[in-house]
Structure 1
């Protein structure tokens, strides 16, 4: 049974944070002396276990380099790891301000697909994350969207019911997965549209 709680659960990248920095994959591919397309395919093909906390950064980059039939020495792996973290480090300051403002009228949480070592850096660089009611990073909780376990983690952590949540993500498959367990869901396209959706979802008089 739902309660009278209202929890806005945000995705991070593509909503509050920017997508990967343009040119980052080309830069990493050049470091490996590999074609960008081939490198990009290996980068994403090896990513799911890393995002879900089943592979360490070293294991992930070793897998990428082995896929490319390239040497996987520690210095190369560390350089790629740091370049990768930096490429995902940008936030939309207007969205950060909006998310923080919502805490006056609702509980606010975050569920992001992000490796554990990336998450550690992000938490240090973005102190506003510590203001939220709950932060769930896939690499820390051992489940990545659209796995239902990622959403159930948030339900359990906040001692809530799925119907208490409005989930915001820029990917339809993730929003669909949230809806499948009983959450409300919205595919993010912009701050103004989102603000209208949130205002309509919250009880009258709270915004």
Structure 2
């Protein structure tokens, strides 16, 4: 039986509290780009880490995606792609929001670590007041580090004021969880709110 964790918790955002990119939004992005599905997503993800880290702004990111696809997106097209990309990542799991707010209300130290570009981070903050429940919010575009870089986890631990060994990190991606374990954190691969709630003794 897994031991209950009653210490600090560091959450991933997308795939844990926020929903994964929605299919309708993904389809609209591909149609807007006007290229085949498979090469579009390869180019999209090949440059995403640099975009998430803040190494590229939205304009440079989409210019780079176009170049990898052998095409050129003009300014009007880039504005559309930026808009539709942000809109494709807007869903939230209300059960997980309730869990986060409950942990904060009980005095638990909680933080958020997300790989997220500036345009999406700005929109998410404007639309989701529950982010205020977190004592630490680490958006990759603002700390210039992204999971699974060890520095991203240590940045959070330092600002949470907690030894990494006393933090549970939860993410839907195993590679990110393993990286957290690599800096001494306890790791949990997220599957659903109920399982996490039991692990946290809630």
Report TM bin, short chain. Answer: over 0.9
Once the two structures are superposed, residues 5-26 of structure 1 have per-residue CA deviations (whole angstroms, 9 ceiling, x without a partner) of 9211100011100000113232
> Following the alignment from structure 1 to structure 2, what is the Cα–Cα distance between the partners of residues 102 and 131?
9
Partner of 1:144: 146
Partner of 2:197: 195
Q: Where in structure 1 are there 5+ consecutive unaligned residues?
A: 200-206
Q: In the comparison of the two structures, how many residue pairs are matched? A: 196
Give SS of 2:187's match. strand
Q: Is the 8 A contact 1:25 1:36 kept in 2?
A: no
**1:131 paired to 2:115:** no
Partner of 2:3: none
Query: Which runs of structure 1 show a deviation greater than 2 angstroms over 4 or more consecutive aligned residues?
Result: 23-26
Alpha-carbon RMSD: 1.3
Q: Is the 8 A contact 1:18 1:92 kept in 2?
A: yes
> Following the alignment from structure 2 to structure 1, what is the Cα–Cα distance between the partners of residues 127 and 164?
30
For normalisation by structure 2, the TM-score amounts to: 0.93
> Following the alignment from structure 1 to structure 2, what is the Cα–Cα distance between the partners of residues 77 and 191?
36
> Following the alignment from structure 1 to structure 2, what is the Cα–Cα distance between the partners of residues 69 and 28?
17
Partner of 2:102: 101
Q: Is the 8 A contact 1:53 1:116 kept in 2?
A: yes
Shift of 1:175: 0.7
Once the two structures are superposed, residues 146-189 of structure 1 have per-residue CA deviations (whole angstroms, 9 ceiling, x without a partner) of 11011011012122211121101111111111011011111111
Q: Where in structure 2 are there 5+ consecutive unaligned residues?
A: 1-5
Q: Is the 8 A contact 1:50 1:139 kept in 2?
A: yes
Shift of 1:131: 2.3
Once the two structures are superposed, residues 59-118 of structure 1 have per-residue CA deviations (whole angstroms, 9 ceiling, x without a partner) of 100000111122221111111001000000110011101111011141111101111221
Partner of 1:202: none
Alignment of 1:68-79 (within 5 A): 68-79=69-80
Give SS of 1:23's match. helix
Alignment of 1:42-81 (within 5 A): 42-81=43-82
> Following the alignment from structure 1 to structure 2, what is the Cα–Cα distance between the partners of residues 42 and 153?
29
For normalisation by structure 1, the TM-score amounts to: 0.91
> Following the alignment from structure 2 to structure 1, what is the Cα–Cα distance between the partners of residues 181 and 130?
27
Partner of 2:166: 164
> Following the alignment from structure 2 to structure 1, what is the Cα–Cα distance between the partners of residues 133 and 178?
27
